[in-house]
A and B are shown apart, each in its own frame.
Chain A
């Protein structure tokens, strides 16, 4: 199978998954490029008997998490340099770059707030939640992708939901205090 054939079959799967992690077109495109570059470099190591989609999913998840980690590191570094370079034009502010093309206008505000909370979850909980709730994958498929057992995946999803509802309640209480 050539890279072009794999790309044509799985491009939307990778791009949409990347979008759920970064909620922004430019970053999702960059992650998609990284994923197919990794596929190109490791295609020889791929074992024919395993599932190609699962393998690609796993690469996409790892690349998305790596990208987020690198971005956070870059932001931290920019903040530190901005302290030492006061008055220079290099000061960068952490502007929210939420630009998810799959979100309709009426849900935009609700999802923007929800994604902010999802982004604060630990990586494994976040991945389990994204695969289950947004990508509509079964627990068995998630277990295969994350290389965990079914019970562990169910527990991750439960903990993610619990953490999210806790954060939502806290935010609502804070809103009441402000109003």
Chain B
């Protein structure tokens, strides 16, 4: 079969300068690394913000009747009826 020609492909040697290029690329890559102390304080700060958000949302919830109070003060009809009986 014609696929047999694939077995005739020879193995070749890699260029001698390739490892230098790899080393160069490794040195170019700057990985931002945080120390354990920094990452712990970042996690703590994030947790504080989340807890604060929850506390504020629970304590300062908008009262249910606020909308109707506003409508009343502005003389706005809050229903869709056309005729007043």
Contacts and interface: CB of A to CB of B under 8 A. Distances in A.
B18 A11 contact: yes
A98 to B, nearest CB: 13
Interface residues of A, number: 31
B33 interface: no
Interface string B1-38: 11101111111111100110110011001000000000
Contacts of A100: 9
Contacts of B8: 104, 107
A25 to B, nearest CB: 8
A64 to B, nearest CB: 15
Nearest to A133: B6
A134 B9 CA distance: 7
Contact of B5 (A12, A37, A40, A107): A107
Contacts of A161: 1, 3
Given A11-B14, A114-B2, A164-B3, A33 B9 contact: no
Contacts, number: 73
A110 B5 contact: yes
Interface stretch (A14-22, A76-84, A138-146): A14-22
Interface of B: 1-3, 5-15, 18-19, 21-22, 25-26, 29
28 contacts: A3-B22, A3-B26, A4-B19, A7-B22, A11-B18, A12-B11, A12-B12, A15-B14, A15-B18, A29-B15, A29-B18, A32-B14, A32-B22, A33-B22, A37-B29, A104-B8, A107-B9, A110-B2, A110-B5, A114-B3, A114-B5, A133-B6, A133-B7, A134-B6, A134-B9, A161-B1, A164-B3, A165-B1
